């Protein structure tokens, strides 16, 4: 269990990982945080893969992944690799494997790294419920060892790296029956395979714990880091960060910045991919922007802000909202069982005041002066004592100018002030300084990470200077963190060579038809690899079942099959109506 003595909660400390070489590119150790992306082209189409890979390389992508869903697809990696090297591209290639150990063995001949999904590499998912005895479970692990060992031996002999990439949406029946659909299950799924590799003396491993739910993803990586440390010396393998099915546009960037950025601030992460439902080259600059503040030479380990550091004010592995007292300002209630409120600076609030009706669910609720928060330096016992002397619950925030990272400062504030006081989160403690980051990424990383820790009763965005954009950004961060719903929500995968239809066009059509359905969650999935699992908490699913054919889901239950793509959006709307979730769009 992670304890308050673990590094990185109140000051930045980078996790020390061993170096893993992928071709000529080092991951972990003292290397930069590496940026990855994935081709959307059919792996059998050599020319298309080469074109797309060269564009990614020109954009700065440092590792390029391709899907290899069967041995035939994997065999063509020889041609793709040969043509890329002939074109002078030395970016390492990664083969993405699901279900097919024989495809992995073929792909390992031609690429520098193999990514396997522990949930489906050996196991065939049947969604079956079964109570395993310890002996039966050990039999399953022995079968895993027999089927996985040949790939490990081949990779060890030929100098190939491997990523053990657990996905929340595709855990095996064995794991689900024993551990449930949990971060614990994700971590154990990867460790089962890692122990086989470790026993065979193979250590070119990278781990990932991806989920579309940001809080689940954060908890899984934190638990993984703790479990790897507990395994002992030599288990400090690098971590690959990513929020799977993040979506598109600002929503996809917010969710990615929240999940990836939160872990980077914890000192975790050696390589990352931003999974957007857009062209692959669009992922690369976002990934570099997220990694930039934490690269070696930019961000150094810090000394504690206070010593001894206080007990941790939140559970890093399980989400619980901090139980603050209740307060009211100008008729707006805030605190423990109230929605997290959106606050703007006075000038921005005044600009939007005449347009409150038009902004509807995106109208800010309080100006800063109306809220009247007490500003505290959490490092100052005198400042904290003065606040705690107040009898009533009082909105509190970190004082501007405090020289600490924003999340660390607010964690420390939550740790030292009385729990009855609600907390106003800020995206920056230097509001007058120029913002050299994308405000959406900065605010999502700072405010979003704290919301995922259960800290925060109101939020203030100041890095975005446009009042309307600042208000919408605040509400979008609250929605991405799952703490307040203001609009329809979409879980959409980034597309790859397995995608069976034009997912970008379909996502745009679905949004155009349904974006007025507040509180409805729709999953748009290219194929069934992660679809049924990742959309388990979605209300409706739109999933590729065959080329240009769509299966529709209610929850994770398929209800309609092989719908022609040109009819599928209308059929999805009809399904939403049939389940009583449709409302007419206001003019």
Annotated binding site for [4Fe-4S] cluster: 493, 496, 527, 534
Bridge partners of 63, per DSSP, are 36
| Residue 223 CA from chain centroid, whole number | 15
Q: Which of 52, 468, 522 is nearest to 248 (CA)?
A: 522
Longest dimension (CA), the chain: 73
Q: Which of 164, 48, 162 is nearest to 111 (CA)?
A: 162
Label residues 164-200 b or e (16+ Cβ within 10 Å = b).
bbbbbbbbbbbbbbbbebbbbbbbbbbbbbbebbbee
How many helices, marked H, and strands, marked E, lie in the chain?
Answer: 21, 23
Contacts of 343 (CB under 8 A, 6+ apart): 364, 365, 366, 367, 368, 371, 424, 458, 459, 460
Instruction: Compute CA distances 304 → 8, 309, 412, whole Å.
Output: 9, 7, 11
| Site of tokens 């050599």 | 46
Contacts of 250 (CB under 8 A, 6+ apart): 440, 473, 476
Q: Which of 467, 389, 399, 469 is nearest to 421 (CA)?
A: 389
- Decide: 546 and 562 in contact? Cβ < 8 Å: yes
Question: CA torsion, points 125, 128, 129, 133, in degrees to nearest 10?
Answer: -60
- Decide: 255 and 480 in contact? Cβ < 8 Å: yes
In 341-405, DSSP assigns E strands to 341-344, 366-367, 374-376, 396-398
Contacts of 576 (CB under 8 A, 6+ apart): 514, 517, 520, 539, 540, 582
Distance, CA of 280 to CA of 496 (rounded, Å): 9
Q: Which of 210, 289, 219 is nearest to 491 (CA)?
A: 210
Coil, helix or strand for 162? strand
Distance, CA of 218 to CA of 210 (rounded, Å): 9
Query: Binding site: what residues are annotated?
Result: 493, 496, 527, 534
| Residue 345 CA from chain centroid, whole number | 30
DSSP 475-527: HHHHHHTTS---S-EEEE----TT--S-HHHHHHHHHHHHTT-TT-EEEEESS
HEC profile for 24-60? CEEECCCCCCEEEEECCCCCCCHHHHHHHHHHHHHCC
Q: Which of 501, 570, 553, 581 is nearest to 169 (CA)?
A: 553
């Amino acid at each position: 269990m992670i304890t308050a003595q673990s590094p990185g909660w109140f000051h930045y400390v980078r996790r020390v990982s061993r170096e893993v070489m992928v071709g000529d590119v080092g991951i972990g150790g003292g290397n930069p945080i590496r940026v990855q992306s994935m081709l959307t082209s059919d792996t059998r189409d050599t020319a298309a893969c080469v074109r797309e890979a060269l564009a990614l390389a020109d954009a700065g992508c440092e590792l390029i992944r391709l899907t290899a869903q069967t041995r035939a697809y994997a065999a063509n990696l020889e041609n793709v690799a040969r043509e890329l090297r002939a074109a002078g591209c030395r970016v390492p290639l990664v083969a993405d494997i699901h279900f097919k150990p024989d495809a992995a063995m073929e792909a390992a001949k031609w690429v520098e790294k193999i990514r396997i999904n522990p949930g489906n590499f050996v196991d065939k998912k049947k969604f079956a419920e079964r109570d395993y005895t310890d002996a039966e479970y050990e039999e399953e692990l022995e079968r895993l060892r027999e089927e996985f060992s040949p790939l490990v031996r081949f990779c060890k002999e030929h100098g190939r790296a491997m990523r053990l990439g657990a996905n929340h949406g595709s855990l095996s029946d064995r794991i689900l029956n024993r551990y449930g659909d949990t971060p614990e299950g994700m971590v154990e799924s990867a460790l089962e395979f890692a122990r086989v590799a470790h026993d065979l003396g193979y250590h070119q491993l990278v781990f990932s714990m991806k989920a579309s739910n940001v809080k689940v993803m954060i908890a899984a990586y934190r638990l993984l880091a703790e479990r790897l440390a507990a395994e002992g010396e030599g288990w400090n393998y690098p971590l690959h960060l990513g929020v799977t099915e993040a979506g598109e546009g600002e929503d996809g960037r917010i969710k990615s910045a929240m999940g990836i950025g939160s872990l980077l601030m914890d000192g975790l992460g050696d390589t990352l991919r931003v999974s957007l439902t857009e062209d692959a080259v669009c992922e690369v600059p976002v990934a570099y922007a997220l990694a930039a503040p934490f690269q070696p030479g930019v961000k150094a380990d810090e000394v504690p802000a206070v010593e001894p550091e206080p007990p941790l004010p939140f559970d890093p592995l399980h989400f619980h909202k901090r139980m603050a007292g209740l307060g009211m300002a100008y008729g707006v209630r805030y605190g423990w069982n109230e929605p997290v409120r959106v606050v703007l600076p006075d000038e921005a609030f005044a600009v939007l005041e005449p347009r409150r009706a038009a902004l509807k669910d995106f109208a800010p609720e309080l100006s800063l002066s109306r809220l009247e928060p007490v500003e505290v330096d959490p490092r100052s016992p005198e400042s904290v004592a003065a606040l705690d002397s107040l009898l009533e619950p009082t909105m509190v925030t970190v004082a501007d100018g405090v020289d600490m990272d924003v999340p660390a400062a607010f964690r420390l504030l939550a740790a030292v002030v009385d729990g009855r006081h609600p907390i106003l989160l800020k995206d920056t403690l230097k509001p007058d300084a120029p913002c050299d980051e994308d405000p959406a990424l900065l605010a999502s990383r700072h405010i979003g990470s704290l919301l995922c820790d259960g800290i925060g009763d109101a939020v203030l965005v100041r890095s975005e200077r446009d009042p309307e954009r600042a208000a919408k950004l605040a509400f979008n961060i609250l929605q991405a963190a799952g703490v307040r719903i203001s609009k329809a929500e979409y879980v959409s995968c980034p597309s790859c060579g397995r995608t069976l239809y034009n997912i970008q066009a379909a996502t745009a059509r679905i949004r155009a038809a349904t974006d007025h359905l507040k509180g409805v969650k729709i999953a748009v999935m290219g194929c069934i690899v992660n679809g049924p699992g990742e959309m388990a908490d979605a209300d409706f699913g739109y999933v590729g079942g065959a080329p240009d054919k769509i299966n529709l889901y209610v929850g994770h239950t398929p209800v309609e099959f092989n719908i022609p793509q040109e009819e599928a959006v209308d059929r999805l709307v009809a399904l939403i109506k049939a389940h009583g979730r449709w409302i007419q769009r206001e003019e």
